[in-house]
Amino acid sequence: MQVDSYRFLPRSFRPLYEGRGAFPGEEHPVWAPFEKRLSASRIALLTSAGIYLKTSQPSFDLDGERERPEWGDPSWRVIPSNAKPEDFAVAHLHINDEDLLADPEIALPVGMLRRLVEEGVVGAAAERQVGVMGYQDRRLKDWRETTAPAIVGHLREQEADGLILAPA
Amino acid sequence: MMPAVAEERRAPRIVGVEFPFGHAFGVAHDRSTQRHVLELALRVLAGASGFGTRVDLDVEWPVPLREAYRAWQPKEPSPIVKKMLEARANAARS
Protein backbone atom coordinates (compact mmCIF):
# COMPACT_ATOMS: atom_id res chain seq x y z
CA MET A 1 0.00 0.00 0.00
CA GLN A 2 1.35 3.42 -0.92
CA VAL A 3 0.03 6.57 0.71
CA ASP A 4 -1.67 9.10 -1.58
CA SER A 5 0.24 12.25 -0.66
CA TYR A 6 -2.41 14.53 -2.12
CA ARG A 7 -5.58 12.87 -0.80
CA PHE A 8 -6.54 15.72 1.50
CA LEU A 9 -5.05 18.59 -0.52
CA PRO A 10 -7.33 20.84 -2.62
CA ARG A 11 -6.80 19.79 -6.23
CA SER A 12 -5.75 23.28 -7.36
CA PHE A 13 -2.90 23.27 -4.79
CA ARG A 14 -1.31 20.06 -6.05
CA PRO A 15 0.94 21.74 -8.66
CA LEU A 16 2.37 23.93 -5.88
CA TYR A 17 3.87 20.80 -4.29
CA GLU A 18 4.20 18.06 -6.88
CA GLY A 19 7.29 17.75 -9.05
CA ARG A 20 9.13 20.67 -7.48
CA GLY A 21 12.22 18.61 -6.75
CA ALA A 22 14.92 19.46 -4.26
CA PHE A 23 15.80 22.98 -3.26
CA PRO A 24 18.83 24.28 -5.19
CA GLY A 25 21.98 22.99 -3.53
CA GLU A 26 20.10 20.26 -1.65
CA GLU A 27 20.08 17.61 -4.37
CA HIS A 28 22.63 15.37 -2.72
CA PRO A 29 21.70 12.81 -0.08
CA VAL A 30 22.26 13.72 3.56
CA TRP A 31 22.62 10.75 5.83
CA ALA A 32 23.53 10.25 9.47
CA PRO A 33 23.52 6.64 10.64
CA PHE A 34 21.69 5.93 13.88
CA GLU A 35 24.26 4.00 15.84
CA LYS A 36 22.76 3.48 19.29
CA ARG A 37 19.99 1.18 20.38
CA LEU A 38 16.66 2.97 20.67
CA SER A 39 16.45 1.81 24.28
CA ALA A 40 19.67 3.73 24.99
CA SER A 41 18.78 6.83 22.97
CA ARG A 42 17.36 10.24 23.81
CA ILE A 43 14.61 11.26 21.40
CA ALA A 44 13.28 14.74 20.64
CA LEU A 45 10.07 15.79 18.91
CA LEU A 46 9.37 18.70 16.57
CA THR A 47 5.91 19.74 15.45
CA SER A 48 5.08 22.32 12.81
CA ALA A 49 1.49 22.71 14.04
CA GLY A 50 2.08 26.17 15.55
CA ILE A 51 1.90 24.94 19.15
CA TYR A 52 3.16 27.26 21.88
CA LEU A 53 2.66 27.73 25.63
CA LYS A 54 -0.24 30.12 26.01
CA THR A 55 0.73 31.68 29.36
CA SER A 56 4.48 32.13 28.92
CA GLN A 57 5.26 32.42 25.20
CA PRO A 58 4.22 34.78 22.43
CA SER A 59 1.97 33.47 19.71
CA PHE A 60 3.44 32.93 16.27
CA ASP A 61 3.02 36.19 14.35
CA LEU A 62 -0.28 35.75 12.55
CA ASP A 63 -0.85 39.47 12.04
CA GLY A 64 2.46 39.63 10.17
CA GLU A 65 1.27 36.85 7.90
CA ARG A 66 -2.05 38.61 7.31
CA GLU A 67 -0.12 41.71 6.22
CA ARG A 68 2.28 39.71 4.05
CA PRO A 69 0.53 36.52 2.90
CA GLU A 70 3.68 35.01 1.35
CA TRP A 71 5.49 35.23 4.70
CA GLY A 72 5.24 32.89 7.70
CA ASP A 73 6.73 33.40 11.16
CA PRO A 74 10.08 31.54 11.22
CA SER A 75 10.54 31.67 14.99
CA TRP A 76 10.41 28.58 17.20
CA ARG A 77 9.27 27.64 20.66
CA VAL A 78 10.64 25.35 23.34
CA ILE A 79 7.93 23.00 24.62
CA PRO A 80 8.78 21.25 27.91
CA SER A 81 8.13 17.51 27.84
CA ASN A 82 6.09 17.79 31.02
CA ALA A 83 3.75 20.48 29.66
CA LYS A 84 0.07 19.63 29.99
CA PRO A 85 -2.37 19.71 27.08
CA GLU A 86 -4.18 22.62 28.74
CA ASP A 87 -0.92 24.64 28.61
CA PHE A 88 -0.96 24.66 24.81
CA ALA A 89 -2.30 27.15 22.31
CA VAL A 90 -2.15 26.87 18.52
CA ALA A 91 -1.35 29.64 16.04
CA HIS A 92 -1.60 28.35 12.48
CA LEU A 93 -3.85 29.94 9.85
CA HIS A 94 -3.76 26.96 7.47
CA ILE A 95 -5.36 24.24 9.55
CA ASN A 96 -8.38 23.85 11.81
CA ASP A 97 -7.08 23.84 15.38
CA GLU A 98 -10.06 22.15 17.11
CA ASP A 99 -8.60 18.63 17.22
CA LEU A 100 -5.13 19.96 18.08
CA LEU A 101 -6.48 21.80 21.12
CA ALA A 102 -8.64 18.84 22.13
CA ASP A 103 -5.67 16.46 21.94
CA PRO A 104 -2.23 17.94 21.17
CA GLU A 105 -0.84 14.38 21.07
CA ILE A 106 -1.97 14.22 17.43
CA ALA A 107 0.87 16.62 16.61
CA LEU A 108 3.26 16.46 19.57
CA PRO A 109 2.99 13.08 21.32
CA VAL A 110 4.94 13.94 24.47
CA GLY A 111 2.72 11.69 26.59
CA MET A 112 3.14 8.71 24.28
CA LEU A 113 6.90 9.24 24.10
CA ARG A 114 6.97 9.32 27.91
CA ARG A 115 5.09 6.03 27.99
CA LEU A 116 7.59 4.43 25.58
CA VAL A 117 10.40 5.63 27.85
CA GLU A 118 8.66 4.11 30.89
CA GLU A 119 8.33 0.82 29.00
CA GLY A 120 12.00 0.87 28.04
CA VAL A 121 11.37 1.06 24.30
CA VAL A 122 13.13 4.44 24.19
CA GLY A 123 15.97 5.40 26.51
CA ALA A 124 14.88 8.96 27.28
CA ALA A 125 12.84 11.87 25.98
CA ALA A 126 14.45 15.26 25.44
CA GLU A 127 13.33 17.57 28.24
CA ARG A 128 12.45 20.37 25.85
CA GLN A 129 10.74 19.67 22.53
CA VAL A 130 10.38 22.06 19.60
CA GLY A 131 7.37 23.86 18.16
CA VAL A 132 7.35 25.76 14.87
CA MET A 133 4.66 27.08 12.55
CA GLY A 134 4.78 25.22 9.27
CA TYR A 135 3.68 27.84 6.78
CA GLN A 136 6.90 29.52 5.65
CA ASP A 137 8.22 31.83 2.98
CA ARG A 138 8.96 29.53 0.03
CA ARG A 139 12.61 30.64 -0.16
CA LEU A 140 13.16 29.54 3.47
CA LYS A 141 15.91 32.13 3.89
CA ASP A 142 15.25 32.80 7.61
CA TRP A 143 14.96 29.07 8.22
CA ARG A 144 18.28 28.31 6.60
CA GLU A 145 20.18 31.16 8.22
CA THR A 146 18.63 31.40 11.68
CA THR A 147 15.89 28.98 12.70
CA ALA A 148 17.37 25.65 11.63
CA PRO A 149 20.87 26.32 13.05
CA ALA A 150 19.30 27.46 16.34
CA ILE A 151 17.15 24.33 16.57
CA VAL A 152 20.14 22.12 15.78
CA GLY A 153 22.05 23.86 18.58
CA HIS A 154 19.13 23.29 20.94
CA LEU A 155 18.99 19.57 20.05
CA ARG A 156 22.73 19.23 20.64
CA GLU A 157 22.38 20.93 24.03
CA GLN A 158 19.65 18.42 24.84
CA GLU A 159 22.01 15.62 23.76
CA ALA A 160 19.28 14.29 21.51
CA ASP A 161 20.27 11.22 19.48
CA GLY A 162 17.35 11.51 17.11
CA LEU A 163 14.47 13.79 16.14
CA ILE A 164 10.96 12.84 15.07
CA LEU A 165 9.82 15.72 12.87
CA ALA A 166 6.06 15.84 12.46
CA PRO A 167 4.69 18.12 9.76
CA ALA A 168 1.23 19.53 10.28
CA MET B 1 1.12 13.48 5.33
CA MET B 2 2.82 14.21 2.00
CA PRO B 3 5.61 11.63 1.78
CA ALA B 4 6.07 12.17 -1.96
CA VAL B 5 6.94 15.80 -1.28
CA ALA B 6 9.31 14.78 1.52
CA GLU B 7 11.02 12.45 -0.96
CA GLU B 8 11.37 15.23 -3.53
CA ARG B 9 12.81 17.50 -0.84
CA ARG B 10 15.35 14.80 -0.04
CA ALA B 11 14.31 13.84 3.49
CA PRO B 12 16.55 10.96 4.54
CA ARG B 13 13.91 8.91 6.41
CA ILE B 14 10.17 9.16 5.83
CA VAL B 15 7.02 7.69 7.33
CA GLY B 16 3.95 8.25 5.16
CA VAL B 17 0.50 8.56 6.70
CA GLU B 18 -2.68 9.19 4.75
CA PHE B 19 -4.15 11.48 7.38
CA PRO B 20 -5.62 14.99 7.05
CA PHE B 21 -3.37 17.97 7.76
CA GLY B 22 -2.91 18.73 11.44
CA HIS B 23 -3.19 15.04 12.40
CA ALA B 24 0.28 13.56 11.91
CA PHE B 25 -0.24 10.92 14.61
CA GLY B 26 -3.90 10.13 13.97
CA VAL B 27 -7.35 10.81 15.34
CA ALA B 28 -7.72 12.85 18.55
CA HIS B 29 -7.72 10.60 21.65
CA ASP B 30 -6.98 7.45 19.59
CA ARG B 31 -3.94 6.37 21.60
CA SER B 32 -3.61 3.09 19.73
CA THR B 33 -3.04 4.72 16.33
CA GLN B 34 -0.91 7.47 17.85
CA ARG B 35 1.33 4.84 19.39
CA HIS B 36 1.44 2.90 16.15
CA VAL B 37 2.63 5.97 14.20
CA LEU B 38 5.20 7.03 16.81
CA GLU B 39 6.63 3.52 17.09
CA LEU B 40 6.87 3.23 13.32
CA ALA B 41 8.65 6.59 13.13
CA LEU B 42 11.09 5.45 15.82
CA ARG B 43 11.72 2.16 14.04
CA VAL B 44 12.43 3.99 10.77
CA LEU B 45 14.67 6.50 12.58
CA ALA B 46 16.73 3.80 14.24
CA GLY B 47 16.50 1.02 11.69
CA ALA B 48 16.61 2.56 8.20
CA SER B 49 19.58 1.25 6.29
CA GLY B 50 20.15 4.19 4.01
CA PHE B 51 19.09 7.50 2.51
CA GLY B 52 15.57 7.71 1.12
CA THR B 53 13.98 5.03 3.29
CA ARG B 54 10.21 5.46 3.13
CA VAL B 55 7.67 3.34 4.98
CA ASP B 56 3.95 4.03 4.49
CA LEU B 57 1.44 3.24 7.20
CA ASP B 58 -1.50 1.14 6.00
CA VAL B 59 -4.16 2.82 8.12
CA GLU B 60 -7.24 4.39 6.54
CA TRP B 61 -8.61 7.62 8.01
CA PRO B 62 -11.84 6.58 9.73
CA VAL B 63 -13.92 9.53 8.51
CA PRO B 64 -15.48 9.76 5.02
CA LEU B 65 -13.20 11.70 2.66
CA ARG B 66 -15.55 14.60 1.98
CA GLU B 67 -16.15 15.18 5.67
CA ALA B 68 -12.47 14.81 6.60
CA TYR B 69 -11.43 17.11 3.75
CA ARG B 70 -13.69 19.86 5.09
CA ALA B 71 -12.82 19.24 8.74
CA TRP B 72 -9.07 19.84 8.54
CA GLN B 73 -9.42 23.20 6.83
CA PRO B 74 -9.45 26.48 8.79
CA LYS B 75 -12.75 28.24 9.31
CA GLU B 76 -11.65 31.02 7.01
CA PRO B 77 -9.13 30.79 4.17
CA SER B 78 -5.53 31.55 5.06
CA PRO B 79 -4.16 34.90 3.81
CA ILE B 80 -2.31 33.31 0.88
CA VAL B 81 -5.37 31.30 -0.17
CA LYS B 82 -7.53 34.40 0.11
CA LYS B 83 -5.05 36.26 -2.10
CA MET B 84 -5.01 33.46 -4.67
CA LEU B 85 -8.81 33.30 -4.76
CA GLU B 86 -9.03 37.07 -5.24
CA ALA B 87 -6.46 36.93 -8.05
CA ARG B 88 -8.40 34.13 -9.71
CA ALA B 89 -11.68 36.06 -9.42
CA ASN B 90 -10.06 39.19 -10.85
CA ALA B 91 -8.63 37.20 -13.77
CA ALA B 92 -12.04 35.70 -14.47
CA ARG B 93 -13.64 39.14 -14.50
CA SER B 94 -11.10 40.69 -16.88
ipTM reported for the complex, 2 dp: 0.96
Does the CB of A104 have a partner CB in chain B at under 8 Å? no
What ranges make up the beta strands (E) of chain A?
Answer: 42-47, 51-53, 76-80, 88-90, 124-125, 128-132, 162-166
Least Cα separation, residue B73 to chain A (angstroms): 5
Would the pLDDT of B31 be above 90?
Answer: yes
Mean per-residue pLDDT of chain A: 96
* Mean pLDDT of all residues in B21-25: 98
User: pLDDT > 70: what percent of chain A?
Assistant: 100
- Model's pTM, two decimal places? 0.96
Would the pLDDT of B1 be above 90?
Answer: no
Domain of B19?
A: 3-93
Interface of B with A in 51-80 (CB under 8 A): 51-52, 56-58, 65, 68-69, 71-75, 78-80
Whole-Å CA distances, A10 to A101, A147, A153, B72: 24, 29, 36, 11
Which residues of chain A does B27 touch, with a Cβ-Cβ cutoff of 8 Å? 99, 106
Number of domains forming the structure of chain B: 1
Structure confidence at residue A129 as a pLDDT band (50, 70, 90): very high
Would the pLDDT of B94 be above 90?
Answer: no
Residue A29 to residue B8, Cβ atoms within 8 A: no
Where are chain A's structural domains? 37-166
